[in-house]
Amino acid sequence: MADTDGEAGTRGRGREETEEERADRRWGELIQEVRVAQTGVQILFGFLLTVVFTPRYEQLGDTEHTIYIVTVVLGAAATGALIGPVALHRIVSGRRVKPQAVRWASRLTAVGLVLLFATMTSALLLVLRVATHDGYVPWLVSGIAAWYVACWFVLPMWARHRYTEE
């Protein structure tokens, strides 16, 4: 099929923008994405920090204490990774390194999402173990973890593969 000036013709070439314009656009998109993840991880992390101060915490077994500690550490790491792009941008702002900053911020965000996945899965395991001691808890947590993987990683990677032109 011949390349035309219509929509089909411009789709393969992408946007007509400079490297700086592309970096500005990608930065804006990334910050909007990070805001959603940051809010979720900060609320979850805040909740986790309060658990240790409740009377029920002392009644938990060693396994639940271990899961709690791992969950808090994962939440702290996720918070750091998802706030990292803001600090990165602030520190390098005006240094003419926005394309590189966007790449590093994107990497931090990806790491943050993986850590958020681990935090949420671990928190779910802790809550369900405390709420019920039934044998189906690992299966339920595994099912939710699979759902997270499908929504956060499999679907986006499939769409990227399916709709990205060579």
pTM of the full structure: 0.84
**73 occurs within a structural domain:** yes
**61 occurs within a structural domain:** yes
What pLDDT is recorded for position 94?
A: 87
The whole domain housing 125 covers 19-134
Is 53 exposed, middle or buried (CB count within 10 Å of its CB: 0-12, 13-18, 19+)? Answer: exposed
**109 occurs within a structural domain:** yes
**2 occurs within a structural domain:** no
What pLDDT is recorded for position 81?
A: 96
Q: How much helix, strand and coil, in percent to the nearest 5, is found in the chain? A: 80, 0, 20
**37 occurs within a structural domain:** yes
Residue with tokens 């077994």: 61
Count of domains in the chain? 1
Which residue positions in the chain have pLDDT lower than 50?
A: 1-12
**25 occurs within a structural domain:** yes
**44 occurs within a structural domain:** yes
**86 occurs within a structural domain:** yes
